[in-house]
Amino acid sequence: MFNFIISTVFALNLKRLFFFFIVLICFIFKTNGQNVSLYNQFNGRYDFTFIGNTMNTTENNTTFDLVTTTSSSATLSLNSSDVIEKAYLYWAGSGDGDFEVNLNSEVITPDRTFSLVREFPGLTLTYFSAFKDVTSLIQTTGNGDYTLSNLDISQFEEFHFQRRTNFAGWAIVIIYKNDTLPLNQINVYDGLQGVPDELSITLSSLNVIDDNNSKVGFVAWEGDSGLATEEFRMNGTLLSSALSPLNNVFNGTNSITGSSTLYNMDLDIYDIQNNIAVGDTSAEITLTSFQDFVMINTVVTKLNSQLPDATVSIDSVEKQCDSKTIVVNYTVSNLNSTNPLPAATPISIYIDGQLFQTITTSVEIPIGGSIPGQITLVLPDTVTLDFEIKFMVDDIGDGTGIVAELEENNNTAVINDSLWFSPTFNFLENLLVCNEGFTRGTFDFSSFEDLVKTNPEDNVRFYETLENATLDVNPILNTTNYQAMQTPKEIFVRVFNQNCFIITSFLLTTRNCPPTVYNFVSANNDSYNDNFTIGGLRDIFLDFKLEIYSRWGRLLWTGNQNTEDWKDEFAQGKVLLIDKPLEWTSFDAVKKIRTQIGIPKVGHAGTLDPLATGLLIICTGKFTKKINEYMAAEKEYTGTFTLGATTPTYDLESEPTVVGAFEHLTMEDLVKATLPFTGEIMQVPPAHSAIKNHGALKHWLCRNLRWIFTGTSHPFPVFLSTNSNPLVAQIVFHIHFIAQ
């Protein structure tokens, strides 16, 4: 049916027909968008302008062809003294949206987006708009041509073209400053709101002192020149312009450039100086439409209104640990204003929503000025930890102000804060270890880090001095194996959270523990257990006496603090020169020495007959390796013998049997008699010697088997004496023996 009407009544305005048809069929439709509301405000010597262009090549209700392109251009031309303060880019179109475009080849993605949906029975129409702050780009480029490209609605165009609602375009709202301008207030409102829904915008907080050059501008989409149904009123007065008649204010025109071919979009600025009066504190903008569907994206107003704009900020809150006294640093400003803020402007302070104190500004704050302030507050007892503090400027304590301002809803600063409390802690017990000498000790207090805390989130560090703990410098890093060179020693513990700390301490102490006695010495110079040491004796028990005995009770060594540790000299190795007693075998002597010194490694160098007395070389410890060396060395024997007597065994085992006179012998005779016994002599050992025969000692064979040598091939000559008393006639002999 709709297509039939289009085809038969094609001469009618197509969009008007479409809406007429919709009204006849259902009469009811629903529009959802974003209400136009205040986005930003500028107070000072400011003004505004627009640039932009449509993507439509003709109006969408006058052709049966698709009419949108993807790029268009516009030119910015400001005076040389104009300084760009802000630049806001808006682009819009039919459909769900294209949110990536190019402005002068720079890729643009939106900061904000808007959408509008029109719902009819069985039909839904969607539209979009996008916003981008392009201040930096416009400030850099300045005057010249601007091209927006890559705005593509082709995905949705056919659907909207059939209903003659296909459009696309863009605009830049430019706020600029000039010192020659009067003090103005610029308000930028935006959203995406449809008309014919009646659209009303209330301009509040005004103080109009001069209506000269007051104006209002619109960025609107989808208006048609052929549909004269929309009206614009300012404070109830119907307005028009040279390009926009009273009943067709959104007709595809650009009042800045004078163009009437801005198809399906409007960039219009209206003079409203005759529609607002000096002294007005508010103004009302009303837009209505019946047939032509129009979307308002942006409204910008300029009014000569001189008012301050008080704001306050809480800059910092100074606190001390464990105190409810705080110092608040704040700033009262009159930045976005057109008049000074008077002195004595009240400032109310609220704690947790309750009025706590009211103060006032001390001086007048000029336009664009600020003054800092500081106040000390003692918080009430009701505050335990967390609290809210609120400063409200131009407030006498009940939300009421005494100063008319440009903006009455920006007077509050609120912060949430917390008091600072020092951490609590558990008391630590003193540590006691064994004295390692001169009260030294090794301590492990690594577990104290957890033991001292009552809050697992707290932190802990240890220090050797109170000053270091207070300043948090030079902490103890090794708490597992801490060496205290002298005790008692106090260790300071810093328990701290993000803001506060507290210091506690504990003592490191030592005691004289029983010494440890080691029961073995391996005196072999391998650096292990070479000395006899009692652990925990020296440097601890400073006045001691140590005696070391063998297992048989023989005192081996005596020492004290001033002597070195005992070394088993016998185990280390010694050469002992023994005067072997009569009837002792060499083994008897070795056994006796072994028993006395308590070590098994003992040997003798050479063998003496049991009935021989005199020198016996005995080696101990590692010196037993030198026995062969000693036996191979040159030896000298000295002794005495008795003249005039001889025994059958040639030793003292038997009594003399032959006694001769020796009185006639002279010293010359004796010397002469020794001459044959000098030099190298091949000696035949006597029967009772220690020489082995058939694996047994000869002296043992003689005694036990009664085997007596009757002669030798080389008898050992003995001087005989005639002295009846052999003990009288003794002569000392000296034999030098070279072992072969």
Catalytic residues: 609
Q: Which residues, other chains included, contact 602 with Cβ-Cβ below 8 Å and sequence gap of 6+?
A: 590, 593, 594, 618, 619, 620, 624
Please, what is the Cα angle at 537 between 534 and 543, to 5 degrees?
Answer: 135
Q: How many CB atoms lie within 10 A of CB 107?
A: 9
Radius of gyration of the chain measured on its C-alpha atoms: 62
What stretch of H or E contains 588? helix 586-597
Q: Which residues, other chains included, contact 506 with Cβ-Cβ below 8 Å and sequence gap of 6+?
A: 428, 429, 430, 431, 445, 448, 490, 491, 493
Q: Which residues, other chains included, contact 29 with Cβ-Cβ below 8 Å and sequence gap of 6+?
A: 22, 118, 119, 120
User: What is the Cα–Cα distance from 623 to 699, expressed in whole angstroms?
Assistant: 29
Q: Which amino acid, one-letter code, is at 527?
A: S
Q: Which residues, other chains included, contact 695 with Cβ-Cβ below 8 Å and sequence gap of 6+?
A: none
User: What is the Cα–Cα distance from 415 to 426, expressed in whole angstroms?
Assistant: 34
Distance of CA 38 to the CA centre of its chain: 45
What stretch of H or E contains 701? helix 698-704
349: number of CA atoms within 13 Å, CB side? 19
In SS3 terms, 104-126 reads as: CCEEECCCEEEEEEEEECCEEEE
User: What is the Cα–Cα distance from 52 to 169, expressed in whole angstroms?
Assistant: 8
User: What is the Cα–Cα distance from 382 to 385, expressed in whole angstroms?
Assistant: 9
Q: How many CB atoms lie within 10 A of CB 196?
A: 17
Q: What are residue 390's phi and psi, to 5 degrees?
A: -130, 130
Q: Which amino acid, one-letter code, is at 197?
A: D
Give the pairing of strands 489-496 and 459-463.
Answer: antiparallel
632-643 b/e (C-beta count within 10 Å ≥ 16 → b): eeebeeeeeebb
Q: What is the DSSP string of 158-209?
A: HHHHTTT---EEEEEEEEEE-TTS--EEEEEEEEEEEESS-EEEEE-S--EE
Block residue for tokens 């810093």: 494
Q: What are residue 651's phi and psi, to 5 degrees?
A: -150, -165
339: number of CA atoms within 13 Å, CB side? 16
Contact between residue 72 and residue 291 where contact means Cβ atoms under 8 Å apart: no
**What tokens does 12 get?**
């009618």
**What tokens does 480 get?**
């597992």
